[in-house]
Amino acid sequence: MDIAIGIVFVLDVYAFVYYRLLVRHFLKADGGVSESTLGALLSPPPWRVLSPLGRKYAKRYYVAVAVLVLCLAVTAATRPFPALQ
């Protein structure tokens, strides 16, 4: 189980970064708005100024965020935390 969660976690982090940088590309191509790479990775995509194609990838970004949170929740639920006892 740990190996499967680890594999899903690594693939999801890749998808998280990929889709956010793809949204950044469409934001620059369509709206002319330039974001720094670190700023793009640390902030959610601006929804109102995106084209329909950019919004499609922004939705996929949010799905990747949800899967990432789910992986972290499953990992936290299956681990004993002796410091908390």
- pLDDT tens readout for residues 3-14: 888 899 999 999
Which residues fall within 8 angstroms of residue 50, CB to CB, at 6 or more apart? 23, 26, 27, 30, 31, 58
| pLDDT for residue 41 | 84
Q: What is the pTM of this model?
A: 0.83
Domain ranges of the chain: 2-79
Please report where in the chains the tokens 């700023």 appear, as a residue. Answer: 39
